[in-house]
Amino acid sequence: MKAAELRVRLAQRAAQHLQRRRRTVTASESGGPGVVVDGQRLVNFCGNDYLGLKSHPALAEALAGCAARAGTGSGASHLVTGHGVEHERLEADLAQFTGRARALLFSTGYMANLAAVTCLAGRDSRVVMDRLCHASLIDAARLSGARLKRFAHADAGAAALAVQRTAPGTADLLVTDGVFSMDGDLAPLPQLAGVATAADACLIVDDAHGLGVMGATGRGSLEHFNLDERAVPVLVGTLGKAFGCFGAFIAAEEDYIEWLLQTARSYLYTTALPPSVAAAARAALAVSVAEGWRRDRVLGLAERLRRGAAQAGVPLLPSLSPIQPVPLGDSARALAVSEELFAAGFWVAAIRPPTVPKGSARLRVTLSAAHSEQQVDALVEALARALRKLPEIPHAAA
């Protein structure tokens, strides 16, 4: 496409209230949820720092200390000269944390999901996937060349039908998020594990938003449902959300990990994480285990927000996680309410298509252990005021 056509398409997106705006953020010196955006001080209620670890001094100290010893970059891919002792130690810690034989470190969650699907499915394979899976999983299935069938969200019965109808034979991969990033709900993992077992399929779970938060000890959605690697052979996780750092991993039994190490293009052909980042991630993992109160706190704040929202008449989608979406439907209204909150001192992003299905725009409120009860209560009050002020946006595009 030429520039003139791109200008037309960009204008169309803006007219449909789908144009995105990038804002530059200055973090709070105190390390809490406060930020400065466009010169205004705000309380951040739309990040993924669920445990409040992003500014934890132990992570900063581990990163700085390792950088002083090992430098600022890894210098190469893992299979050339980029795989260092901190990477090795982090993979061992992640395997122990998830109860798996091995873990393989990736630079991003997107790259990990590309590897998980493209290396385990091919042109003669079939992939059955929840309709609301993360974009990286959808892209991975398409890139693999496999036959892709998407089933109704969180519907194990629909998944079973999709497996049966994916001829010839059964699905090779059944894929789902553990906690869905835009809805905050949990996949019906026990039922999906049963479907996968009956179909002789491999169940892959991307638990980016569950690890560190869900489960009795923060081991994620699988711990929440008491599922092991026999039920879920391949687990994908990230280090940039609850663990407040950067990177991602796949945890599985020995043969899966060795196959990925040998064949995953998103692992083979990219520079390894800086060793200092791996050191910081190890510190984050240790803090998350030692300070279990962080998990209790963020889930308690999510429940507090739900109680307050119910009393104030603020609608919320069903969710047990720190992700608490406010459904608004209309993209223009979602933007307008988000701006009202911004003016009131709260940063809550408007989530619009294509990130969510058409007609399901929402505000994605996320809680952190760093938030205070007073901040949560004040957000609920501001939300209620904004919704009363903006009951609807006439003639707005969804």
**Nearest alpha carbon to residue 26 among 17, 15, 18, 36:** 36
Q: Using an 8 Å Cβ cutoff, are 175 and 141 in contact?
A: yes
Omega before residue 394 within 30° of 0, cis: no
The phi, psi pair for 263, rounded to 5°, reads -125, -15
Stated as kind and residue range, the H or E segment containing 295 is helix 293-312
Q: In the β-sheet with 34-37, what is the strand arrangement from edge to edge? A: 25-27, 34-37, 40-44, 346-347
181 an active-site residue? Answer: yes
Instruction: Give 128's contacts (C-beta < 8 A, 6+ positions apart).
Output: 149, 150, 151, 159, 162, 163, 166, 171, 173, 174, 175, 201
Structure-token pair, residue 21? 């705006």
Q: Does residue 336 come out as left (phi exceeding 0), alpha (psi in the -120 to 50 range) or beta?
A: alpha
Residue 175's beta-bridge partner residues?
Answer: 129, 204
Q: Rounded distance, CA 196 to CA 193, Å? A: 5
SS3 of residue 149 by DSSP: strand
372 an active-site residue? Answer: no
Q: Which of 78, 87, 209, 371 is catalytic?
A: 209
Q: Using an 8 Å Cβ cutoff, are 173 and 120 in contact?
A: yes
Residue 43's beta-bridge partner residues?
Answer: 34, 346
Q: Which of 78, 224, 241, 371 is catalytic?
A: 241
Q: Which of 144, 181, 221, 368 is catalytic?
A: 181
Using a 10 angstrom Cβ sphere, with 0-12 exposed, 13-18 middle and 19 or more buried, the burial of residue 282 is buried
149 an active-site residue? Answer: no
Structure-token pair, residue 209? 């938003």
Bridge-based pairing state of the strands 126-130 and 147-151: parallel
Residues annotated catalytic, as ranges: 181, 209, 241
